[in-house]
Structure 1
Amino acid sequence: MGRPVGDRVVVLGGSMAGLLAATVLAESYTEVLVVDRDELDGATEARRGVPHGRHAHGLVARGQQIFEELFPGLTEELRTAGVRPGDFGSSIRWYFNGRRLATGHSGLLSVPATRPVLEYHVRRRVKAMAQVTFLERHDILGLETSADGRTVTGARVQRQDGGAPEVLPADLVIDVTGRGSRTGTWLEQLGYQRPEETRIKIDLAYTTRHFKLDTDPFGNELAIIPVATPAHPRGAFFYRIPGDDGQVQLSLTGILGDHPPADLDGFLAYTKSLPVPDVYEAVRRATPTLDSGTHKFPASIRRHYERLTRFPANYLVMGDAVCSFNPVYGQGMTVAALEALVLRSQLRSGAPVDFRRFFHAVGTAVDAPWEFSAGADLGYRGVEGRRTPKIRLANAYVNRLHHAATHDAELTSAFIRAAGLIDPPAALMRPRTLLRVLRHSLRPPTGAPATADTAPDHAARHTG
């Protein structure tokens, strides 16, 4: 437990980042008030405020470790609820460039809960904390500040069922309202600068359907994941729905406007174009049970709060409000967890958090996952952005590593560790790994991507 820092903190937003923040804040504040526009209590389905919750979600390896640290026994609780954990290396069928990576035990735990299920169990844990109160179905109107605008003193909110706006006084206010955060506007209204932004426009879309299968394509595996790459820009996440016998979820992804259709015939045709036939063969005669529609993600956005020199006291920003990643890399919840650890570390001094120290540490936590995902997206020639020599070299090398990993399970594990934020991206260049990549670089990759229905003109059209 940290030393007491203040009486009340108001958390603006009750999604995963807000829950993680509330958890560590409860160690240092007498009261933690979580405000959200949705009804949170007992919610087990995708909420209005988290529309992407109906689609494929992932908690990478470092995220699983932090969640278990913050909520001891959570993994076993999810297992009891029907979620079947497995190994990120040996329990998932990974494909890059249409070819399967060699399978090996990574020692990293994958807990494939859907977003609503994971959020439900985490929220239940947070709600049980005596210091935490949820203020549901309230719209967030803005900040309350001192007369000179230098100090945030609370938040203004309003019940959705009517009533006058009210002020929630607070010793600290934290914005975790996501990529639609209005902090930039609020800062300008108070006479501060907006943070600089870096945008990587990817024009991504997910389309998701559920099916009831007659056969089991997975065996002992949890999922089949053909990862989108510049050579094969169409990707998929195909996995069992935990606790629902025979039901599977298939999320198709497309970048640069090549979006998977929502109608069943178009959806199946898009599935057939994947360079991995396993997925189409599993669903082509399956019974469709649920259409979750399409979710669009126009751009990854990083807001550089760490560069600001002036900022109101008693106010912080976390989660997607700071950095919103391309969701195909599954980094968002894990980065929010890393930021929660930053917050906990700085609160344990017993003093109010200094914005400079906090945003610097958050920026450091964001650096590696941003380098990994934004750099990979810039491997698509149709994605606008500055390609430094470092990015070009890294993308060329990772492509060789994927090639070599079709032969070498140790390289598969090395990549999973970097993608899972266990190791920094630079770890892929360690001498032992580099030598293994070089050793396999002249060998042809194992297997071959499907060719009959992969639309090779599509790959050329969207990578050049």
Structure 2
Amino acid sequence: MTPARQRVGDHAVVLGGSMSGLFAARVLSDAYEKVTVVERDELTEGHRVRRGVPQGRHLHALQARGQQVIEELFPGISDEMIAAGAATGDVGFNTRWYFNGKSPRRVRTGLRAVAASRPFLERHVYARVAALPNVAFRGGHDILGLETTPDHARVTGVRVQAHGGGSPEESIGADLVVDATGRGSRVPAWLEEFGFPRVEESRLKVGVGYTTCRYRLTSDPYDDEISIAVIASAELPRGAIMTKVEDGLVTLTAYGILGDHPPTDREGFRVFLKSLAVPDIFEAVQDQEPLEDPVAFKYPVSVRRHFERVPRFPQGLLVTGDSVCSFNPTYAQGMTVASLGAQVLREHLASGSAPVPAAYFRDVAHRAVDGPWEAMTINDLAFPGVEGRRTLSTRMAHALTARVQAASTRDPAVTEAFLRVVGLIEPPSTLMRPGMLTRILRGSRAAS
């Protein structure tokens, strides 16, 4: 149990057993006597894709910073997953990247990638959280609503109901409720019902569609690499990533934006792969054995909820993960930003007092969401069909990115700096440091 001198409260409830919910439960377990995770799905240690994670069949990845944070939360988990069959390598040396159809110089960055399917990763994180003596799971339960004090100034618990058999409604009291139910979170609607101001939203329509097929390797097209990544560009808004995962399998996710989506029939999928900027992925799958027909998922719009701008918010309630911000999945930022949000929560609990919502949301915005959201928005606005205001700073960022990508084909130091920014290890401003900017300008001129 948590020592009394560190205890913030008796009971914390996490709504949603998502990755962000599991991260939150891990952090809360250090500060509350008991933590309960309530989830619609039955949570198990199996390999299956959960109904509540419809995108679970598709390729997922932790950025380099997310890999570091998950190791901080669960020491040794990376080696544990590798021992269980996950692929691993250096982000800059063992991945074959293509930007604008050109490959940057390979470089050993020291940033570790652990490649696995979403169910595999979730199973290992779930097992770690489930092993904590003060964490309990309530799978197979619908979340009906929040309980509050009569004036709605404080959340005091949550109302739930078990699936099937006409189960009665049940109240679970809590000192703190953390919503991790994701993009479909009902917290904004509940707040309005309680008389709180509407939560402002930022939206960016991207019309992303992606299609995934899994293969069993009959030959290895990778050499010493774990992944081939062909990134979509403004000139050709189609991309694909093919990655080794656990059990000797390969997951291939192809994507397109603004409605240009990969087909789900095998021949159409093959033709889409052939249309990419480079032939590497198309050629790599020709001799591989598909395990099933391709499956599709659509992501129409990125959504950010600005809880940090809400002037009044009930005590005893926090929000995390995709409930705060749902990113264009082609940038693989969601799980990493969720892990950064868990770090913010941990720091706010370190004082020994319950987190103050306004301060917590301010720090989540500043330290977890702002940077990735701005970078994603700038990148998406590079595609002419994406609606949005292209300011002078946005256009300058586009020009810098083009030069960085060009210079990286000649200078491994630029490659490393760029991948550290992409991996959320460093902020984009590091590319503007005088020495690095000189290398970028010199390298991009030489590449032209």
* TM-score in same-fold range (> 0.5): yes
Match of 1:449 in 2: none
User: Offset of 1:276 from its aligned partner?
Assistant: 1.2
Secondary structure of 1:69 counterpart: helix
AA of the residue aligned to 2:33: T
Is the contact made by 1:54 and 1:292 (CA closer than 8 Å) also made in structure 2?
no
TM-score scaled by length of structure 1: 0.94
AA of the residue aligned to 1:65: Q
- After TM superposition, the structure 1 = structure 2 runs for residues 197-216 of structure 1, keeping only pairs within 5 Å, are 197-216=201-220
Match of 1:303 in 2: 305
Is the contact made by 1:153 and 1:171 (CA closer than 8 Å) also made in structure 2?
yes
Q: Does 1:331 align with 2:307?
A: no
- Between 340-349 and 284-293, the greater mean CA deviation after superposition: 284-293
Secondary structure of 1:52 counterpart: coil
Match of 1:396 in 2: 399
Of 231, 235, 242, 1:231 maps to 235
AA of the residue aligned to 1:142: G
- After TM superposition, the structure 1 = structure 2 runs for residues 56-455 of structure 1, keeping only pairs within 5 Å, are 56-161=59-164, 162-244=166-248, 247-364=249-366, 365-444=368-447
Secondary structure of 2:297 counterpart: strand
User: Offset of 1:430 from its aligned partner?
Assistant: 1.4
Query: Deviations for 1:414-453, whole angstroms, at most 9, x for unmatched residues?
Result: 11100111001111211122111111222236xxxxxxxx
AA of the residue aligned to 2:260: D
Secondary structure of 1:311 counterpart: coil
Is the contact made by 2:265 and 2:294 (CA closer than 8 Å) also made in structure 1?
no
AA of the residue aligned to 2:307: Y
AA of the residue aligned to 1:182: R
Is the contact made by 2:180 and 2:321 (CA closer than 8 Å) also made in structure 1?
yes
- Between 387-396 and 355-364, the greater mean CA deviation after superposition: 387-396
Is the contact made by 2:208 and 2:257 (CA closer than 8 Å) also made in structure 1?
yes
Is the contact made by 1:142 and 1:156 (CA closer than 8 Å) also made in structure 2?
yes
Match of 1:38 in 2: 41
Distance of aligned partners of 1:122 and 1:195 in 2 relative to their CA distance in 1, 3 Å threshold: same
Is the contact made by 1:61 and 1:109 (CA closer than 8 Å) also made in structure 2?
yes
AA of the residue aligned to 2:397: A
User: Offset of 1:241 from its aligned partner?
Assistant: 2.7
TM-score scaled by length of structure 2: 0.97
Secondary structure of 1:252 counterpart: strand
Secondary structure of 1:27 counterpart: coil
- Give, in whole Å, the separation in 2 of the partners of 1:86 and 1:441: 28
Unaligned runs of 5+ in 1: 446-464
Distance of aligned partners of 1:144 and 1:292 in 2 relative to their CA distance in 1, 3 Å threshold: farther
- Give, in whole Å, the separation in 2 of the partners of 1:212 and 1:45: 18
Is the contact made by 1:311 and 1:355 (CA closer than 8 Å) also made in structure 2?
yes
AA of the residue aligned to 2:255: T
User: Offset of 1:390 from its aligned partner?
Assistant: 1.2
- Give, in whole Å, the separation in 2 of the partners of 1:338 and 1:217: 34
- Give, in whole Å, the separation in 1 of the partners of 2:8 and 2:285: 55
Is the contact made by 2:219 and 2:287 (CA closer than 8 Å) also made in structure 1?
no
Query: Deviations for 1:154-203, whole angstroms, at most 9, x for unmatched residues?
Result: 00110012311111111111111000111111011000112111101000
Query: Deviations for 1:101-131, whole angstroms, at most 9, x for unmatched residues?
Result: 1101011000112111111001000000011
- Between 282-291 and 165-174, the greater mean CA deviation after superposition: 282-291
Match of 1:452 in 2: none
C-alpha root-mean-square deviation of aligned residues, in Å? Answer: 1.2
AA of the residue aligned to 2:142: D
- Give, in whole Å, the separation in 2 of the partners of 1:205 and 1:430: 36
Secondary structure of 1:17 counterpart: helix
Distance of aligned partners of 1:304 and 1:377 in 2 relative to their CA distance in 1, 3 Å threshold: same
Query: Deviations for 1:358-386, whole angstroms, at most 9, x for unmatched residues?
Result: 00000012111111111100111111112
- Give, in whole Å, the separation in 1 of the partners of 2:294 and 2:365: 34
- Give, in whole Å, the separation in 2 of the partners of 1:394 and 1:216: 38
AA of the residue aligned to 2:331: Y
Query: Deviations for 1:237-294, whole angstroms, at most 9, x for unmatched residues?
Result: 11223222xx322110100000000000100000000011111112234332123510
Is the contact made by 1:39 and 1:137 (CA closer than 8 Å) also made in structure 2?
yes
Unaligned runs of 5+ in 2: none
Secondary structure of 1:158 counterpart: strand
Is the contact made by 2:379 and 2:398 (CA closer than 8 Å) also made in structure 1?
yes
